[in-house]
């Protein structure tokens, strides 16, 4: 039996997750860009890497050595949605000393009105020079055939792996990543839950995680050995859901809990099936909860005074990180939510600081 099959079967053999009550009808949501959306990445050629299909030079499906510490990571591959993307184009300029994310200009085009957690982890809480290959797309789900995305041009996790990572980076010796000097992060679920829980499909999350597990194992077979999984934050408390009342908040919250439980089981199954891997699980949900309840829990968010609403004047981004508009009452960086779904860069800063501690 292949390791991919055994990994997926091990995941399926775990106990059933939480039952999700039937939700009230509620509109779905996707990604709102705060700077410059890029759902179709331009195919530039300068300083670029050409996609090929040769056998991987990094691939081994067996890890050289267990985790050597965050200070030894040189290559960071990130997969996800609008909370993660910097709008990197793998066919354009690659990460380099002048710009560790390659393209666009640092910190990229994010949803946070500034750097996001990937940027902060790359250039603020790094302990070495880290080249970051951020393959995330705003609005992404794990599998768009299971949970539709808001635009067909958005690449889901399947496509991020099979159309971006494998063709461009699995076998490209110029990148120089190995199983021991790299970290692979996946941050999905916000759109999977938000775009689906109103459908009352009790088996959907199980189907999503079969795909999730298969994609993780594809990365492992390509040589990835160090994994970071981020669970879904309490976006049911964001204005986008809160506007529909306590029932919607509770129902989406239950769906998030189910997704997060399954992610925890996936991580456990990965470590059991492939004991040569190192797996980190970051509790984004807990961190958001701490900040929402007490912003001063972290120095990066101590100035936040509004944790429940957003100001329309700031929602699409501002000229400066501390822009003040009198109609909003306080500067933009004193809000938790930039818009109906996305937190400010201050929250991402706190996230990255705690992820760095986890990785030490």
Domains and CATH numbers, the chain: 69-287 (3.40.50.1110)
pTM of the model: 0.86
| pLDDT at 240 (0 to 100) | 97
Pair 197, 251: CB distance under 8 Å: yes
Q: What does the chain come to in residues?
A: 360
Give residues with Cβ within 8 angstroms of 323, minimum separation 6: 314, 331, 332
Q: Which DSSP string do the residues of 239-275 spell out, in sequence order?
A: HHHHTT-HHHHHHHHHHHHHHHHHHHHHHHHHHHH-T
Cα atoms in the Cβ-side hemisphere of radius 13 Å centred on 214? 13
Taking only the tens of pLDDT, the chain with its 360 residues reads 444 444 444 444 443 333 333 333 222 222 223 333 333 343 333 345 544 333 334 444 567 667 899 999 999 999 999 999 999 999 999 999 999 999 999 999 999 999 999 999 999 999 999 999 999 999 999 999 999 999 999 999 999 999 999 999 998 677 999 999 999 999 999 999 999 987 767 899 999 999 999 999 999 999 999 999 999 999 999 999 999 999 999 999 999 999 999 999 999 999 999 999 999 999 999 999 999 999 999 999 999 999 999 999 999 999 999 999 999 999 999 999 999 999 999 999 999 999 999 999
Q: What CA–CA distances, in Å, run from 227 to 77, 165, 184, 312, 337?
A: 10, 15, 5, 37, 28
| pLDDT at 197 (0 to 100) | 80
| pLDDT at 189 (0 to 100) | 98
| pLDDT at 66 (0 to 100) | 72
Question: What are the backbone angles phi and psi of residue 301, rounded to the nearest 5°?
Answer: -115, 10
Q: Count of H helices and E strands in the chain?
A: 9, 5
CA 187 from centroid of its chain's CA atoms: 3
Whether the bond into 345 is cis, omega within 30 of 0: no
């Amino acid at each position: 039996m292949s390791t991919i099959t055994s990994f997926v079967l091990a995941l399926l053999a775990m106990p059933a997750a939480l039952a999700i009550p039937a939700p009230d009808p509620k509109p779905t949501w996707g990604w709102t860009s705060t700077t410059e959306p890029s759902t179709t990445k331009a195919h530039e050629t300068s300083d670029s890497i050409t996609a090929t299909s040769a056998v991987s030079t990094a691939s081994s499906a067996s890890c050289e050595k267990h985790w050597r510490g965050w200070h030894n990571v040189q290559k960071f591959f990130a997969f996800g949605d609008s909370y993660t993307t910097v709008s990197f184009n793998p066919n354009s300029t690659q990460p380099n000393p002048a710009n560790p994310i390659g393209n666009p200009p640092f910190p990229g085009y994010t949803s946070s009105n500034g750097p996001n957690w990937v940027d902060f982890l790359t250039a603020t809480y790094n302990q070495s020079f880290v080249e970051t290959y951020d393959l995330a797309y705003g609005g992404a789900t794990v599998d768009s055939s299971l949970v539709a995305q808001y635009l067909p041009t958005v690449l889901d996790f399947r496509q991020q792996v099979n159309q971006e990572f494998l063709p461009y980076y699995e076998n490209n010796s110029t990148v120089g990543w190995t199983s021991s000097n790299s970290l692979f992060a996946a941050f999905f679920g916000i759109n999977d839950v938000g775009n689906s829980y109103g459908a009352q499909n009790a088996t959907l999350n199980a189907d999503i995680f079969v795909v999730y597990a298969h994609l993780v194992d594809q990365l492992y077979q390509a040589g990835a050995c160090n994994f970071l999984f981020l669970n879904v934050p309490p976006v049911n408390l964001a204005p986008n859901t809160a506007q529909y009342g306590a029932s919607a908040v509770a129902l989406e919250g239950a769906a998030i809990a189910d997704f997060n439980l399954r992610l925890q089981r996936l991580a456990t199954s990965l470590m059991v099936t492939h004991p040569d891997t190192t797996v980190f699980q970051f509790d984004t949900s807990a961190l958001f909860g701490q900040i929402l309840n007490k912003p001063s829990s972290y120095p990066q968010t101590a100035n936040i005074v509004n944790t429940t609403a957003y100001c329309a004047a700031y929602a699409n981004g501002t000229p400066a990180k501390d822009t003040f508009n009198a109609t909003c009452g306080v500067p933009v960086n004193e809000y938790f939510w930039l818009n109906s779904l996305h937190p400010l860069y201050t929250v991402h800063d706190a996230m990255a600081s705690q992820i760095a501690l986890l990785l030490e």
